[in-house]
């Protein structure tokens, strides 16, 4: 999508990969300092060695320090940090360890609808029960605790709800949860003794000036010891999103708190079967949590590149929302965070019939038509889940501004033509 | 363990990581050529992009070309190649897709004893049935097909044996299977309709001059179409072993043949949940299967480094066998391949009693004593499985020759003292 890698990150990675470059004058000193720190913590000073299954020690320390800074001083313990193969690996590992039982005692896992399909896939892989709670589209996809209550009560009739998954900022829905809402969710989890799983991979991707990312960990601690020493929480981060977009390295971490020591032992054992997460991805994660600071040689360039990516994403989020809302039959909630628009589309009755004739879901039919006629590929809402009778698609806002404008214009033209064709 | 990375591999990786280096005169042209080829096949010419879930196309092509060369012209189809997060990931994914059923129809998975504990761990994770077949220690850990027959017949009484796992060269046992033995195993798998899982990650690690690595794929094809179009086979390779030892990058591939198209569809779907294997690991795998060739600038240095690692391992394999067999109460089979010695140790009755008093397996007690008294850490045979009443430990032969000599001498001294102490 044209987004360039952050120079500093790649410099440190190259230095770690081929340490001969540590003598090269063309690399800045602060990058060399980071590379030396990482290599010294690796077996044989090499990214090629296995690390501990939980991840390289000093990188887990850097992650803990990052979390503490991010959360205004709320302490983080490196022992609770697990480096992972992207966030997906962490999420499926935690779910694997939490799911158990058969019949009415089968584990229920609560997930938002719309959701990121990793959740439904892993739940199905593990033979757990997917418990849907619906985000409120009419209220900018907010999470409503009453809806959580409805969902958990209903679920208790046929399974044992044990886990509550939250995606904040939302994927595909782009909402950013308010502090109040997070408090309510934590209180609910405490009441219902649910394990909280906070997917916070878009924590750097917040665009609206009137909202802010609050980590579940921070809010949990601020709610006092009754909550902070009892509610079990795993939160996830990744190198794949934010301003860095380093998906291919499969870097990520999870912080797990209040896990029973015996379960923790089982978790480490489970992780050790796969030996360790990719050490290059661990190194990438380290640079994300330990970037250049004021006074360091690379600080200015790093900040410029970071701001440029995030500034552009904010611009594109606004542009996309505005453009979609100009189209009759499309409604798009504000893109407060993450990287996607998830507009609601009106599909005329005749188009529904045509879809049925093609044995396709109406939104799938719409997306296939869009692909055929414009070459633009978006994902039908049915892949993420949506309230019955509503239709959506997910589109990324990653393309460069000018390209995105063209894409949006083409979608608009297509949609108007589609409405006419099936009027 | 002091083994240095292969320069060419790290050069290509550094160039891929930080493509500015493609203009640097300090990198050889053949490394740049490899890096450009890999980058051109990556989204946005970057290791930071997600790849297809099955892996980068051109790397799968290079893997297929490598297999064809290795197997003297037996064709390999890139469409049957899946890049993985190390071999462990491939093995657990294939097992996941093969295991099903409950009660007497639960899937039985046949594994060698001694085995590499990944197998028992994944079988237990998947709630499948572990079906042991014993390697013949008195016959240099050879695989005997009669033992396979015994194991499968017995297993059929309580489960549905569907998978036969082979580790060749053996881990922890170091045997290299003869061509005849592989033929027998394939015939057995054909008769019993078993899915063959050939763990061939040590294919470059063969040391005895009187044995040779034969891939299951090659032998299968040479046995004719009745076998080559019917027997389902998955074989695994990795960047972690051989002469490269790049464990941290988590690179690997599997070649899967004769898989039913519908199952193949399910396999790709399953892989796509985790998005893709680390692209840096995929790049490392590419260099392993596409090394410098005669006439290229890096060929000489590459060959020198490769031969040095493999030559040293061969020397150390012989040294270890010889040293162990000089010790009364230790018997060590020839280390024909892989990277470990798995000597049998005699444990006196009094030591067995002491172990029992400590609630430890006798070989665990032995290994803990060794660790406490010498600082040398080896793995008790009970972690790999062994015939009842026999005791072993696994020791790597990776340390540099001089260090290895010291280690072996210390183990020898310890063992003699141990025998005296518990005489």
Note the pLDDT of residue A422. 94
Query: Residue A2 above 90 pLDDT?
Result: no
Q: What is the CA radius of gyration of chain A?
A: 22
* pLDDT category of residue A208 using cuts at 50, 70 and 90: confident
Asked if A120 and A130 touch (Cβ cutoff 8 Å), the reply is yes
**Tokens coding A201:** 């991979």
Q: Please determine, for residue A281, whether its predicted confidence score (pLDDT) is greater than 80.
A: yes
Q: At residue A103, does pLDDT exceed 90?
A: no
In a domain, B202, yes or no: yes
H/E segment holding residue A321: helix A299-325
Tokens 């063969």, residue located: B206
| B58 and B145 assigned to the same domain | yes
Task: Work out the pLDDT band at A17, boundaries 50, 70, 90.
Answer: very high
- Is residue A140 included in any domain, yes or no? yes
Q: Quote the pLDDT of residue A153.
A: 97
- Say if residue B112 is in the same domain as residue B243: yes
Tokens 């214009």 belong to which residue? A409
Q: How many residues does chain A have?
A: 423
Model confidence pLDDT, tens digit, residues B161-216: 999 999 999 999 999 999 999 999 999 999 999 999 999 999 999 998 889 999 99
Residues A280 and A345 in one domain: no
Q: Is residue A125 less than 8 Å (CB to CB) from chain B?
A: yes
Query: Is A34 part of a structural domain of the chain?
Result: no
The answer to the question of residue A261 being in a domain is: yes
Cβ of B17 within 8 Å of Cβ of A1? The answer is no
Nearest Cα residue to B173 out of B142, B215, B205, B214: B142
Same domain flag for B389 and B276: no
CB contact under 8 A, B248 and A42: yes
One domain, residues B345 and B232:
no
Closest CA to A371 of A393, A398, A342, A347: A393
**Residue B12 in domain:** no
**Are B285 and B306 in the same domain?**
no
| Cross-chain residue pair A48–B92, CB shorter than 8 Å | no
A263 touches chain B (CB under 8 A): no
Residue A302 counted as domain residue: no
Angle (CA) A278 A53 A71, round 5°? 85
Specify whether the CB–CB gap between B416 and B398 falls below 8 A.
no
**Chain B closest CA to A257's CA: distance in Å?**
24
Domain stops at, among B255, B289, B323: B289
Same domain? B348 vs B249: no
The nearest alpha carbon in chain B to A10 belongs to B18
Q: What is the pLDDT of residue A238?
A: 97
Q: Is B396 on the interface with A (CB under 8 A)?
A: no
My answer on whether A190 and A274 are in the same domain is yes
* End position of a domain, from candidates B225, B255, B289: B289
Query: A250 and B14 in contact by Cβ < 8 A?
Result: no
Residue A387 has pLDDT above 80, yes or no: yes
Which helix (H) or strand (E) element contains residue A163? Answer: strand A160-167
Spatial contact of A171 and A133, defined as CB atoms under 8 Å apart? no
What letter would DSSP give residue B194? P
Please say whether the beta carbons of A199 and A166 come within 8 A.
yes
Could you tell me the CATH number of the domain that includes residue A326? 3.90.1150.10
CATH number at residue B167: 3.40.640.10
- Mean of the pLDDT values across residues B327-349? 95
Examine the domain organization and report whether B273 and B343 are in the same domain: no
Among A24-33, A143-152, B99-108, B138-147, the least confident range: B99-108
B89 contacts A48? CB cut-off 8 A: no
pLDDT, tens digit, 9 for 90 and up, residues B95-123: 999 998 777 899 999 999 999 999 999 99
The answer to whether residue A193 sits within a structural domain is yes
User: Is the pLDDT reported for residue B354 higher than 80?
Assistant: yes
- CA-based nearest residue to A380, from A360, A403, A410: A360
**Same domain assignment for residues B285 and B335:** no
Q: Round the average pLDDT of chain A to a whole number and report it.
A: 95
CA distance B316 to chain A (A): 20
Buried b / exposed e over B119-136, threshold 16 CB at 10 Å, is: bbbbbeebebbbbbbbbe
d(C-alpha A142, C-alpha B407), whole Å: 63
Average pLDDT over residues B355-369: 96
Task: Give me the mean pLDDT over the B149-170 stretch.
Answer: 96
Residues of A with Cβ-Cβ distance to B31 under 8 angstroms: none
Strands A393-396 and A379-380: antiparallel
Task: Spell out which residues of chain B touch residue A275, defining contact as CB-CB under 8 Å.
Answer: 86, 88, 247, 250
Over residues B377-395, the pLDDT tens digits come to: 999 999 999 999 999 999 9
Nearest residue, CB atoms, B86 vs list A2, A118, A275? A275
Rg of chain B in Å (alpha carbons): 22
Q: How far is residue B279's CA from residue A150's CA, in Å, rounded to a whole number?
A: 43
How many Å apart are CA A272 and CA A105, to the nearest integer?
Answer: 28
Q: Which of A29, A14, A96, A72 is nearest to A267 (CA)?
A: A96
Structural domains of chain B, count: 2
Domain assignment present for A31: no
Question: With 80 as the cut, is the pLDDT of residue A34 above it?
Answer: yes
- Considering only CB atoms, A279 lies closest to which of B47, B50, B248, namely B248
Residue A101 has pLDDT above 80, yes or no: no
Range of the domain at A347: 313-421
- CB contacts of A121 in chain B (<8 Å) are 273
Q: How many CA atoms lie within 13 A of B219 on its CB side?
A: 20
**A118 touches B: beta carbon within 8 Å:** yes
Minimum-distance CB partner of B14 among A18, A86, A92: A18
Task: Check if the beta carbon of residue A151 is closer than 8 Å to that of residue A133.
Answer: yes
Same domain, B210 and B64: yes
Q: Is the pLDDT of residue B69 over 80?
A: yes
> Within this chain, do residues B310 and B334 fall inside the same structural domain, yes or no?
yes
Least Cα separation, residue B422 to chain A (angstroms): 34
Is A47 in CB contact (< 8 Å) with chain B? Answer: yes
For chain A positions 94-113, those within 8 Å of chain B (CB to CB) are 96
* Residue A273: pLDDT over 90: no
A274 vs B: CB within 8 A? yes
Single out the residue in B289, B315, B335 at which a domain terminates: B289
Distance, in angstroms, between A390 CA and closest chain B CA? 26
In tens, the pLDDT along A318-342 reads: 999 999 999 999 999 999 999 999 9
């Amino acid at each position: 999508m044209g987004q360039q890698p952050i120079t500093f990150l790649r410099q440190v990675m190259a230095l770690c990969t081929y340490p001969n470059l540590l003598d090269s004058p063309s690399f800045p000193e602060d990058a060399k300092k980071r590379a030396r720190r990482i290599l010294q913590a690796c077996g044989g000073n090499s990214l090629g060695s296995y690390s501990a299954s939980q991840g390289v020690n000093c990188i887990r320390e850097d992650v803990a320090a990052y979390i503490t800074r991010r959360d205004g001083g709320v302490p983080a313990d490196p022992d609770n940090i697990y480096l992972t193969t992207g966030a997906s690996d962490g999420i499926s590992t935690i779910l694997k360890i939490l799911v158990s039982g058969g019949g009415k005692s089968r584990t229920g896992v609560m997930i938002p609808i719309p959701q990121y399909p990793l959740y439904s896939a892993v739940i199905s892989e593990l033979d757990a029960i997917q418990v849907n709670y619906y985000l409120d589209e009419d209220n900018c996809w907010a999470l409503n605790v009453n809806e959580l209550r409805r969902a958990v009560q209903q679920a208790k009739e046929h399974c044992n709800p044990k886990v509550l998954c939250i995606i904040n900022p939302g994927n595909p829905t782009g909402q950013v949860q308010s502090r109040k809402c997070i408090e309510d969710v934590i209180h609910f989890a405490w009441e219902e003794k649910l394990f909280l799983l906070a997917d916070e991979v878009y924590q750097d991707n917040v665009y609206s000036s009137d909202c802010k990312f609050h980590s579940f960990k921070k809010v949990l601690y601020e709610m006092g010891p009754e909550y902070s020493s009892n509610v079990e929480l795993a939160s996830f981060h990744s190198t794949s999103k934010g301003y860095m977009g380093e998906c291919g390295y499969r870097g990520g971490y999870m912080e797990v708190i209040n896990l029973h020591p015996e379960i923790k032992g089982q978790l480490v054992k489970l992780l050790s079967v796969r030996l360790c997460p990719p050490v290059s991805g661990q190194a990438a994660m380290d640079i994300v949590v330990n970037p250049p600071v004021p006074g360091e040689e690379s600080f200015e360039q790093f900040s410029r590149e970071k701001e440029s990516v995030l500034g552009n994403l904010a611009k594109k989020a606004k542009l996309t929302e505005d453009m979609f809302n100009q189209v009759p039959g499309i409604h798009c909630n504000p893109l407060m965070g993450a990287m996607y628009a998830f507009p609601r589309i009106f599909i005329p009755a005749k188009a529904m019939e045509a879809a049925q004739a093609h044995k396709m879901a109406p939104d799938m039919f719409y997306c296939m038509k869009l692909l055929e006629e414009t070459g633009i590929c978006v994902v039908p809402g049915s892949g993420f889940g949506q309230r019955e009778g509503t239709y959506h698609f997910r589109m990324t806002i990653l393309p460069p501004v000018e390209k995105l404008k063209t894409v949006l214009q083409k979608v608009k033209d297509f949609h108007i033509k589609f409405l006419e064709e099936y009027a």
